[in-house]
Amino acid sequence: MLDVMQPGRITALSDLRKLIAEPPAMMHRRLQRQIDDYCLTVIRNASVCVVGLAKQAGVVFVNLRATPVVTAEAERVDLVWPAGVDLPASLARGETLNGSLYFIMPGIGFALRANGRCSAEQVEGGETRLAFRADAFFLHCSRAKVRARFWEPRADQLRYADGAGGGTLSEDALTFISRSPYVLILTQDSAGKTELSPRGDPDGFVLALDRSTLLIPERPGNKVACTLTNILLHDAVTVVFLIPGSADVLVVNGRCWLCTEQHMLMPTAVQGKTPKLGMVLQVDEFRFQHSPALVEAGLWSKETHLRESDIPSFSKMLAEHMNGRGLLGKATTLVVDAVVKHDLKHLY
């Protein structure tokens, strides 16, 4: 796959599961085939939707305060394509692409994710819409944002938007990575279906092993391990680096493999805990992308932030997604709430 040394490389799912146990069976029931009122609550309160497209066709940030979701019903979500952002050529040709959505609510740690298929539609007045048809909707916990202190804007006044390059990262790119506490990782399985998953940690948590190789530590999660499983099946990966408060992001495309080599992972230790494994990304290309939606949507303006009491709790939503709204769902809420509180106290 890669023409670099790969110490401690994991190549089989069975080896991955020796490090990350199978998730509880009920976790698979968290997937919703259609939008319910909890999903709709997140969609209506989100200020940004991140769109990740397969075949490295791009990652786009949609300002939902300026252009709210047009349609959200059953398995369908229709978004207004951002003005001034080029439509990927494949969508412009009328093709359908696998893709993922990630809805971010201002000031709220958990989010809604969706995986499915995307196409573009032209409507009256010249507006372009992204028509998304979901295979699954599911809630995602707040740990990545908490680890990253995502809601605290950094004092980053630099502009990076015009830089791009091949497999060797520029000084500006390396500087951006050293200041970023939060990334979105777009992966595909063997059938091309996508996942868009966040990772967060203290600023600069992604380690540059050299100018062409990055190491992303893997922290404790929900054990579903979709991103890691996808990497075993399909090594093409897109990683988007964010700095809270900045309208610029860094997009890195490359090839990835899973590493357990402790000497490589030790520099990424936090609170004295070295991760069991990490993702090693061999860079193919990078580019800075100006994404004003992140700031214009008020993502880091406290005036726009929701209070936790404004919406149902993550524990309640997730428990009832897994076990319904009867007595079992209510009982599960108590269990999930205890697990969530434990996880937030033990981030590493």
Note the pLDDT tens digit of each residue in 262-276.
Answer: 999 999 999 999 999
Write phi, then psi, for 61 (nearest 5 degrees). Answer: -110, 125
The helix or strand, by DSSP H or E, that contains position 300, with its residue range, turns out to be: none
Question: Nearest Cα to 269, choosing from 218, 324, 330, 340?
Answer: 218
Residue 93: per-residue pLDDT? 94
Contact assessment for residue 121 and residue 128, using Cβ atoms and an 8 Å cutoff: yes
Residue 153 has φ and ψ, to the nearest 5°, of -65, 140
Helix (H, G, I), strand (E, B) or coil at 237: strand
- Residues of the chain falling short of pLDDT 50: 1-3
| DSSP label of 86 | P
Return the pLDDT at 142: 95
β-strand 97-104 against 48-53: which pairing, if any?
antiparallel
Residue with tokens 């209510």: 330
Ranges of each domain in the chain = 9-15+30-311, 312-348
Closest of 248, 253, 170, 258 to residue 215, by C-alpha:
258
For residues 238 and 308, give the distance between their C-alpha atoms in angstroms, rounded to a whole number.
32
- Report yes or no: 317 and 137 within 8 Å, Cβ to Cβ: no
**SS3 assignment, position 65:** coil
Assessment of whether the complete model's pTM goes beyond 0.85: yes
Closest CA to 200 of 274, 147, 279: 147
Predicted pLDDT of residue 2:
47
Q: What is the pLDDT of residue 322?
A: 85
The answer to whether domain 9-15+30-311 has CATH 2.40.50.100 is no
Contact 221/196 with Cβ under 8 angstroms?
no
pLDDT of residue 67: 96
Dihedral over alpha carbons 116, 122, 123, 127 (to 10 degrees): 100
Say whether 292 sits in a helix, a strand or coil: coil
Measured in degrees and rounded to the nearest 5, phi and psi for residue 248 equal -105, 145
Return phi, psi of residue 2, to 5°: -120, 150
pLDDT at 157: 60
